[in-house]
Structure 1
Amino acid sequence: TEVVLPAMKSDLLELVLSCFDGTLKDYKMEFNEGYFVDVVLVSGGYPAEYKKGFHICGIKDDNELLFHAGTKKIDFQVVSSGGRVLNVVAHGNTLDDAINKAYERINDFYFEDMFYRKDIGRRKF
């Protein structure tokens, strides 16, 4: 979902409505050019035991492709509240470009016990 929604050029509401009105078979789905990559920032220990309540540094209001998963706001601060904390999504003209942008953006974020995989998108299929 985190890479499909930004990749969609088509209107999501129109797609859903075509499901309800029986015109899905005629719906022409369009996608944006390029590649999208999603790297999930998790709490250390996830999917087993992990701690919550860590302040998350680096979140900005600049329309970046950042999906909150296990977060909540306490006293005007965003803190971790689950195992899968943030999804960092990046777009690039090539797969390598999208991968590099995602990992560069991860450097902006920090919370205690933060962990993420370093191989996302690296294995070619």
Structure 2
Amino acid sequence: MAAQGAVRDAAPAAARDAEQDAGSGRPAAPGTVVIRSRAFEHVFAALAARTLGVAPGAVAARIGDARGLVTVDIRAPYSARDRSVVATAAEVQRVIRDEGGALSGARVGEVTVRITGVVPTPRRRLS
């Protein structure tokens, strides 16, 4: 799966090919940039964490490949705020597709958000 220009994004099959070439010390192909799948996962996890209002380490992201599109699976806790779980999950999906796609150069397809728990928001004291 190829992103715009000469950038080759690293869906699972592409990442395996690039790692084999990287082990030999040779570039994957002349004039290409190889981006490891782990880099995509870090970008998508950070965007989800920001949107959910949780610590980045609390979010796990996995990517896959579906007919040339990057699929994203997010697992994260929900930070109880003024939005419903459903509205928050929909916002995470939008952010991953729009901002994640723009940042990574990848064409993002399906985004699955799995809520794994609830993180209480700190209460503010009134003085």
TM range (shorter): 0.3 to 0.5
Query: TM-score if structure 1 supplies the norm length?
Result: 0.33
Q: Relative contact order (alpha carbons < 8 A, sep ≥ 6): 1 or 2 greater?
A: 1
Query: TM-score if structure 2 supplies the norm length?
Result: 0.32
